[in-house]
Amino acid sequence: MNSAYLAFVIIVPLLAAALLTVMHTPLLVRRTILLGTNAFALGFGIWLAVETYGGNVLGHSIALWPSGIAIPLVADMFSALMLIVTALLGLVCSAFGIATGDDDRAYFAPLVLVLSGGVYGALLTGDLFNLFVFIEVMLLPSYGLIAMLGGLRRLSAGRLYVTMNLMTSTIFLVGVGLVYGVAGTVNIAELAGAGSEDPLIGAAVAVVLIALGVKAAVVPVHGWLARTYPYTSPAVTALFSGLHTKVAIYAIYRIYAVIYEGDSRYLWIGIVIMSATMLIGVLGAVGENTTRSILTFHMISQIGYILLGVALFGPIGLTAGIFYLLHHMVVKASLFLSTGAVEVTYKTNDLGKVQGIARTEPLIAAAFLGAAFSLAGLPPFSGFVAKLVLVRAAIDEAQIAAAVIAVVVSLLTLMSMLKIWKGVFWGRAPEDGVSLVSARKPGRLLTHIKPSVAMPAVVLAVVTLAVGIGAQGLLVLSEQAAAGLLDVSGYVEAVIGQ
């Protein structure tokens, strides 16, 4: 594959978004362009994984400008895997948005495509400034999606979301400026090892990592996520859950591996913070009484699991963290989409307002239950393998307390999932709630929920089951991605050696 093609996966969504913004094409054409662009990105990611298999790294400077001016794009197995899952979620969540009527809004498709283009750029860029730029490209359409879709509280949630991100972006940009001031470059490859060798550069890059930590919703700077994600539409919540915080997590993995070369002096800080994130996140869900607010707090808890991998920083720890990251993106989106299917059909996501959904909608109940078991770490789903490998890595690194917390939090997660199951899917409808039993249609997998609304969650639940059953395949790819983070010589050569 010619590395010059790397830019296509960024350019195509942005051009498609521009086209849909200025052209009032028929709805069918708009939908085809939206889904077709996401399908193209998915195919591109698979192609990229084939090209980077075995440790190959692709690098390209846009328009062949010299270093320092051009935008360096780099792709290895880690970025390829992230691109595949990102495109899959973009495709599935767009399909859900079409099925639920979100795309009736004229700018839904262009905003989703710009968001996707920004994410792909952030995954492929090789310098800190352009990482900042692509994250902003990702965030700008997100402001529009929050303001455009959701309930009455979306505007107050949107203000918090915009304020938090503007503040964090300012910190990020200050950090990038400090790095340039002390190192004379913001190219990640040129900064390889500088964070551990030069305290000034290390401190400057730490400012960037702090900003990324806020964007990833790490405890204690996690509150913004719990107070914003539940108040937009289910399709947008699922899309955000799979992409936004995960871009920040990906960047933390990449920066710490390349610029600090996994410096062990700071890893204990990560162990403490990520253990606290796992525990506080799941405890935050205890007092919540809506499906989306509970799932949002669980998302914070799971971010602790994912970043524990980089805090352990060894072959097994990084492999476990990357596997967990990919698994979690799929599972969390599936949970938001299955509960979202119930919410858009029955017009509520409050626990206890509607019950007995499993009787009338067994297909969506099965999708929720499978993803919930995976999130809690039960076999044969992908979450079981992810947590097993992560706990093993913690024990191998003598981080027994972190391993114990990971196991305890898994049990608490399962209890919270059962709380949603009991409050939505099990039992009989209350007298003042929606009567479901009387509307039951025996023998049907779906009664009121449309198949087009249910299928996105079902597809992702099947994916997590398939990954769990065939875990060895993804583990091998995750090991290759982890190897690229442990030995960054290929990454550096791909950028500087052009």
- pLDDT per residue over 382-396, tens digit each? 889 989 999 999 999
Taking the C-alpha atoms of residue 86 and residue 93, their distance in angstroms, rounded to an integer, is 10
pLDDT per position as a tens digit, 141-172: 998 998 888 777 778 888 899 999 999 999 99
469 φ/ψ angles, rounded to the nearest 5 degrees = -70, -40
- Would the pLDDT of 432 be above 70? no
As a whole number of angstroms, the longest Cα–Cα distance in the chain is 70
Q: What is the mean pLDDT of residues 267-291?
A: 91
pLDDT per position as a tens digit, 15-68: 999 999 988 778 899 999 999 999 999 999 999 999 999 999 999 888 667 766
- pLDDT for the residue 64: 66
Residue type, 161: Y
Complete DSSP assignment for 274-295? HHHHHHHHHHHTTT--BHHHHH
Non-local (6+) Cβ contacts of 223 within 8 A are: none
- pLDDT for the residue 429: 58
What percent of the chain clears pLDDT 70, i.e. is strictly above it? 95
Non-local (6+) Cβ contacts of 189 within 8 A are: 72, 74, 126, 258, 488, 491, 492, 494, 495, 496
pLDDT per position as a tens digit, 165-210: 999 999 999 999 999 999 999 999 999 999 999 999 999 999 999 9
Complete DSSP assignment for 196-234? HH-HHHHHHHHHHHHHHHHHTT-TTS-HHHHTTGGGS-H
Residue type, 378: L
Task: Please tell me the least confidently modeled range out of 87-96, 152-161, 397-406.
Answer: 152-161
- Would the pLDDT of 269 be above 80? yes
Q: What is the rounded average pLDDT for all residues in the chain? A: 90
Q: Which residue has the tokens 């199951």?
A: 421
Select from 128, 248, 126 the least CA-distant residue to 176: 128
Taking the C-alpha atoms of residue 214 and residue 339, their distance in angstroms, rounded to an integer, is 27
Confidence category of residue 279, pLDDT binned at 50, 70, 90:
very high
Handedness of CA 216, 272, 284, 393 (dihedral sign): positive
Six-digit token string for 196: 């551990």
- pLDDT for the residue 50: 95
Q: What is the mean pLDDT of residues 461-465?
A: 94
